[in-house]
Structure 1
Amino acid sequence: MTGIVAGIGWHMVGAASAASFYAPIEKVKRWSWETTWAVAGIFSWVLLPISVSYLLLPHFGAFYGSIPSGVLLRMALFGAMWGVGNVSYGLTMRYLGMSLGIGVAIGVTLVVGTLIPPLLNGQAGLLFETRSGLLTMAGIVVALTGVAIVSYAGHMKEMPLKSGGPTEFNVLLGLALAVMCGIFSSGMSFAMNAAKPMQAAALQAGVNPLYSALPSYVFIMGGGALVNFAYCFGRLAMVKKISLGDDLHQPGGVIGRNAALAATGGIMWYLQFFFYAWGAAKIPERLSYVNWMLHMSGYVLFGGIVGLALGEWAGVSSRSIRLLWVGIVVIIAAANLVGLAT
């Protein structure tokens, strides 16, 4: 039981990192969003996955050469699927606003990414015919309730603030994009499910179980990186209002500061899945599908807490803040339900 509690704890550490990674990125000045996102991505999707795996694996090249090409391809394709969801994230915020957009997108991601892998693996009976499965399903329902409450509280916060709400609010289009974002973002969950043969190979190679999932990130995040870089550099090349050359012709101090902030955000983004691997290593294999639910609900949980800590709720009605805390408590209850299931 102690190991399971530790697993949930590590999932929450990863979720906190995920909820905080955009804070340094928001402080970047005089750079386009595309340049900032690409620099952050170089660290989170390329340098860190490769560097960590190089340190972990005794024979880096031979290890990847021993993995069947079909496994590598599935990981990369699911990573690219996640990349599409990542790119569409910004459009969701544009038409729904941050709180409502995140709530819908993560709600869909939570359900799809948690339920589909066991169904594809022929484990549907575990979800509906066992005590642990039923408790997990209850945890998902409670988590979605908490996500909805937190999202509604955030929506109430944004609407009175003209500068904080979406400039082109469109419920139907925004909801469609949020659902699309949620479905494609769940590709990360599918990719991790597809990476299990590589995790087994890492264990056989002598990698500590806590780190056995990390070598798979080279291909998973590599697939997502291709989509994200194509989008960023495509826009930098085609949109007249933004230019990579203009961004790089800033004074040296501006470039250094922006690069450091973007890199910090990228490192924090990677750390969410670093600790996700630690958490997943502590959860029993038969209940591996709960890992994604814990991560996604924790993301919303700490998103609300980080927003409070950064003063984003200053001047907001006490009713909205109370509603936020109710949602946070509900999400904590969902994590405890999943703990009982394990």
Structure 2
Amino acid sequence: MTEGVLWAIFAGLMLGLYALPEKFTKGFKYENTWSLFFLLTMFVVPIIASVVLIQGFGDIFGNMPTDIWIKMGLSSFLWGIGVMMWSKAINHIGLSLGFSIFIGTIILVGSLLPFIVDGLPPTNVLTYVLIGILVVLLGVILNGKAGLTREKDEAKLNAEQNTTSEKGSMTTGIMIAVIGGLLATGFSYANAVGRPYLAEAVKQNGNADWITAVAVMFPIFISGGIVMTAYFLWQLNAKKAWGDFKTSSLGKNFILILIMAVFHYAASALFAFAASKLGASGNTVGYAIFNTASVATAIVSGIITAEWVRASPKARNILYTGLTCMIIGIVIIAYGNGQA
């Protein structure tokens, strides 16, 4: 149990920190950084990880029914759009706020999806889950309010100092994060559709149970990566950003972005491993630990990197309250699911 908890925390830390290296790239436009990131995290890393880790890789995916490929592919396509919008939101409103609103939206919708697919659970489970959803929703709303308050604080300081800000609109960034979070729940649907077949196929080929997560992520990441590739090829041409890859910082930037890609992918695989170590409580307690650690890490790292240095104490207090609500809500949802 202790090992599982520690791995869940570590997985959450990796997810919460994955976008942090982006702050330290130099000479790259948004399009350069994120196109290279998505190329690595959606294709290079998952292909290498899947081929190396999954015994019987060719047989498992070669025999996967066509209808499962189609369902996973279409829902993963939506997930890819959502993750792409997440990166855009981070550039508008920062790591801490973009992360918490995006993940909060996924938790809200993701907690309701099983009810749509499988029907309503027992009353005691439903009560806890609905209470938890309301608490998470309150946290997301407070985080949004904190962001808008921060924007007003920064606008006031800019007016006093006669300076301008290069940041995008806070309202636009929040909307992008929310819509991205809604689309990103396609990951949950793809997982639900593909997991039964892949879990059995993985087991039959002599793999450990946690390898199922690696197998599930392969078609999801490849399918989601297609939309991102198309979008960023268009953007690199439209913004004439191809030439920005020719910078003296290319080597350093590549290492930073590779770290982002590995952290982003490995977080999910490590969570699956943690869940297997936690036994029956893996998908409930582990889920709470994973998401709590990731959201808290993203917000703390955003604060450390001075995203909120110009915000008033009021804005920061609202942010802290929103984070607390999200953590409490996640724990309540996990506890409720554990009563099933």
Task: Please report how far the alpha carbon of residue 249 of structure 1 lies from its aligned counterpart in structure 2 after TM superposition.
Answer: 2.8
**Pair 1:167–1:67, CA change in 2 (3 A):** closer
1:229 paired residue number: 229
Counterpart of 2:80 in structure 1 is 83
Shift of 1:256: 0.7
Question: Which stretch of the first structure deviates more once superposed, 218-227 or 187-196?
Answer: 187-196
CA distance 1:336–1:97, shift in 2 (3 Å): closer
TM-aligned CA deviation for residue 50 of structure 1: 1.7
Deviation, 1:303, is: 2.2
Distance 1:292 1:184, change over 3 A: farther
For the Cα contact (< 8 Å) 1:298–1:331, is it kept in 2? no
Equivalent position amino acid for 1:157 in 2: R
Aligned AA for 1:330?
A: C
Task: Find the counterpart in structure 2 of residue 125 from structure 1.
Answer: 120
* 1:1-342 equivalences in 2 (<5 Å): 2=1, 6=4, 10-89=7-86, 92=89, 104-120=101-117, 122=118, 124-126=119-121, 129-162=122-155, 166-168=167-169, 171=171, 177-196=176-195, 197-237=197-237, 239=238, 241-244=239-242, 246-251=243-248, 254-281=249-276, 299-314=294-309, 316-341=311-336, 342=338
Q: CA RMSD in A?
A: 3.2
- Cα shift at 1:221: 0.4
Between the aligned partners of 2:20 and 2:90, the Cα distance in structure 1 is 16
**What is the CA-CA distance between 1:219 and the residue it aligns to?**
0.7
- The size of the alignment, in residue pairs, is 328
- For structure 2, the 5+ residue unaligned runs are 156-163
Deviation at 1:10, TM superposition (A): 4.5
Could you report, residue by residue, the CA deviation over 1:146-194 in whole angstroms, capped at 9, with x for unpaired residues? 233334334323432246685446x5x6666444322211111211112
| 1:250-296 deviations in Å (ceiling 9; x for gaps) | 33xx2111111111111111122122323444677899589877755
- Indicate how the Cα distance of structure 1 residues 108 and 336 shifts in structure 2: closer, same or farther if over 3 A, else same: closer
Whether the 8 Å CA contact 1:94–1:168 is kept in 2: the answer is: no
- Partner of 2:207: helix, strand, or coil? coil
User: Cα deviations across residues 125-145 of structure 1 (Å, max 9, x unaligned)?
Assistant: 21xx34233222322222222
CA separation of 1:32 and 1:165: change in aligned 2, threshold 3 A = closer
Segments of structure 1 that go 5 or more residues without pairing to the other structure are none
Aligned residue for 1:125, secondary structure, equals coil
Distance 1:199 1:35, change over 3 A: farther
2:218 corresponds to which letter in structure 1?
Answer: V
Alignment-mate amino acid for residue 32 of structure 2: T
Please tell me whether the aligned partners of residues 80 and 225 of structure 2 are also in contact (alpha carbons under 8 angstroms): yes
Of 262-271 and 206-215, the range deviating more from structure 2: 206-215
In structure 2, give the amino acid aligned to 1:301. A
> Post-superposition shift, 1:80?
0.9
Distance in 2 of aligned mates of 1:137 and 1:182: 19
**Quick check: 1:78–1:187 contact (8 Å CA) kept in 2?**
yes
| One-letter code aligned to 2:247 | Q
Query: In 2, distance between residues paired with 1:317 and 1:203?
Result: 54
